[in-house]
Structure 1
Amino acid sequence: MVFVTKYRHGVLDAAMLDRCRKIMTDVCADFGAAMTEFNGEDDHVHLLVEYPPKTAVSTLVNSLKSVSARRLRSEYTDRVNRYSMHGHFWSPSYFAASASGAPLASLREYIDRQQQPAATR
């Protein structure tokens, strides 16, 4: 899955990505899913999630985006408010693809290669 920030603003820093990983891992656990990989850059995140077939991907995505946006906005208010995002953190769209035929090692390698932003000073 790939989620992009609203207007592709480069709002995410290293601390926010770490917090986002924790929040999304907890949300996945609530759905009986497992996030096996997470990485991102300043304007998007990549997730590799294994979820049960009874879970609709749209429901999982909605929870991941809404819970993470609400918590990140409340914890990093000053940083998020620097950008005029009109009350939204994530873009309303997302990318999700099935990886049933691809080796997990190659997917993990792709996600790990994302360049994380440097920590803010």
Structure 2
Amino acid sequence: MFRHRVFTDVHPTRMEEIMRSVCVDFECEPVEFNGEDNHVHLLVHFPPKVAVAKLVNSLEGVSSRRLRQEFPDLARHYWRANKLWSGSYFAGTVGGAPLYMVKQYTEQQNRPV
């Protein structure tokens, strides 16, 4: 699937701040954040009482709303809706993988410059 370039160098920095704030609200620990010019990777340690779907919904909703307010230029990337993220996401558990390997993968993303 083709994804077009959405984010520039300023967007991920602000997005990370917003998403870290959401994690605090959910009593989660953001471990690693990075992304590319069209998506992000977020490694989060969260307690069993937190539903992944609710966390992701809040991360996407709050970050979309705040980024659209602060960066009106992002509006050109909306497609048929007034939202920044697509309706899909990937969430996986890494209980068996060494955490350093997951962090290394996240760190190796080509963050926009």
- Structure-2-length-normalised TM-score: 0.93
Map 1:59-70; keep pairs closer than 5 Å: 59-70=54-65
1:84–1:56 Cα change, 3 Å: closer
Rounded to whole Å, the distance in 1 between the matches of 2:104 and 2:20 is: 19
Give the unaligned 5+ runs of structure 1: 1-6
* Deviation of 1:14 (Å): 1.6
Give per-residue Cα distances to partners, 1:27-63, cap 9 Å, x unaligned: 0000000110000000000000001100100000000
Rounded to whole Å, the distance in 1 between the matches of 2:59 and 2:78 is: 22
The corresponding residue for 2:83 is 88
The corresponding residue for 2:13 is 18
Give the unaligned 5+ runs of structure 2: none
Aligned residues: 111
SS at match of 1:91: coil
Aligned Cα RMSD in Å? 1.2
- Which structure has more relative contact order (CA 8 Å, sep 6+)? It is 1
SS at match of 2:104: helix
